[in-house]
C-alpha cells in the first residue's frame, strides 16, 4: 500500500499545495523586485520582501516537516 501525502482537512496533495505556494512565491518575488526597479517606497519594498521570505520559509517547512507529520499520524 503506497502512502500519498494529503492534507487531512481538504485532501489536496502536498504537490498541489507546493505548486500553489510556488506560484505565490514567484509573484511575491516579482513584486518586490519590481518595486525596487521602479523606485518604490522603501517601506513597501520591505513589506513585499518580507512577504516573499515568509512564503519561501513556509514552503521549506512544508517540504521538510509536513510529510513526516502526515506519515506518523
Backbone torsions φ then ψ of 13, nearest 5 degrees: -75, 160
Band of pLDDT at residue 58, cut at 50, 70 and 90: confident
Q: What is the pTM of this model?
A: 0.65
Whole-number Å distance between alpha carbons of 59 and 22: 8
Domain-by-domain residue ranges, the chain?
28-64
Interval 3-50: pLDDT, tens = 444 445 666 777 788 888 889 989 999 999 999 999 999 999 999 999
Of 12, 9, 50, 43, which is closest to residue 28 (Cα–Cα)?
50
pLDDT recorded at residue 70: 56
Amino acid at each position: 500500500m503506497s502512502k500519498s501525502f494529503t492534507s487531512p482537512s481538504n485532501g489536496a496533495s502536498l504537490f498541489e499545495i507546493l505548486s500553489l505556494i510556488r506560484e505565490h512565491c514567484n509573484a511575491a518575488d516579482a513584486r518586490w523586485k519590481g518595486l525596487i526597479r521602479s523606485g518604490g517606497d522603501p517601506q513597501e519594498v520591505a513589506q513585499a520582501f518580507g512577504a516573499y521570505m515568509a512564503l519561501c520559509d513556509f514552503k521549506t517547512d512544508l517540504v521538510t516537516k509536513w510529510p513526516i507529520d502526515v506519515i506518523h499520524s
